[in-house]
Structure 1
């Protein structure tokens, strides 16, 4: 089975023409996913429904599209109030991406609204958690996902079929090489339990888990083009070459 690679593209301006060559370059690398990061936008007033839909049209239908409006507290590049961010997220959902990435730590009312909106619009969800300082123990890391799963079922009353379709993304920062073991163990444990999990470490010490996570069950890993959107991100052509050389995975 071919490993899933997602190319992350930061969206900074409302000039569609500016992104034609960027998307073309991304498509030439044959990724399975493309993520558009709207939290890089210079002017959020330019994030109109029309612009978002036109941007999505640049990507071929056989490539899954992830829309992300990352919160500032978890690495987003602009700092706006949650009410404003929610309005933008609603527009993103209405453009019908394949996936929307939303933080697990988002306000409960916002999470409930987003779950309802995505279900009505047939958009899949990626629930994410980012630690930019450290990698917790395996037990602590597992509890982050397990407690959120309990919250979905018991507090939000989400049907089990949706819970199993959601993707759970838990990202750490490696302070040493050994930290890579934590996300790799998470990927193995949750994927064997038929949960869709994405987990690896950021930073220079985390490159190993960025590459190896898909081998032990991660739903995907992220790669970059010219500009990275996270510490330690690898160019898509390089990571594909690694998979070919090490795992014979084209």
Structure 2
């Protein structure tokens, strides 16, 4: 970060507020932004927990708040999108990255921007998480949802 080799540093919320504050102090005189993230590869917590987790990331000082969860059913995907929308309305100035993983959650990677997620992940040559869509397919889907922005 000090050498300007990265643009973003991603740190799990689980490291705690003190470690996050320490990292933010380290980044003060750099152009590097801190992503504070939470991943649940087993399940999707309830909407209220998703909201409070993203809010905790923001209160901890995140320049970007990120949350990824594994859905067990379609309602879990809706909970993630709903929580994203609530956080977007409550904290309009903080960039958000949210996604529901796996096949069921792939729709969140396409429609997340409609609910307040500012970034999605796509597959270049090899997926780094379940449910990622190949970049060409994601680009095509996004051009349908956002025809004037493509």
1:103 maps to what in 2? Answer: 12
Q: Which runs of 5+ in 2 are unaligned?
A: none
1:1-250 pair list within 5 angstroms? 93-96=1-4, 97-150=6-59, 152=60, 163=61, 166-193=63-90, 194=92, 195-248=94-147, 249-250=149-150
Q: Which runs of 4+ in 1 moved over 6 A?
A: none
Aligned residues: 146
State the superposition RMSD in angstroms: 1.8
Q: Which runs of 5+ in 1 are unaligned?
A: 1-92, 153-162
SS of 2:81 mapped into structure 1: helix
Structure 1 residues 108 and 243, CA gap change in structure 2 (3 angstroms): closer
Structure 1 residues 95 and 238, CA gap change in structure 2 (3 angstroms): farther
Contact 1:104 1:129 (C-alpha < 8 Å) held by counterparts: yes
- Give TM-score scaled by structure 1 length: 0.54
How many angstroms apart in 1 are the aligned matches of 2:35 and 2:101? 18
Rg: which structure is higher?
A: 1
- Give TM-score scaled by structure 2 length: 0.87
How many angstroms apart in 1 are the aligned matches of 2:85 and 2:16? 29
Contact 1:137 1:182 (C-alpha < 8 Å) held by counterparts: yes
How far residue 236 of structure 1 moved from its aligned partner, in angstroms, is 0.9
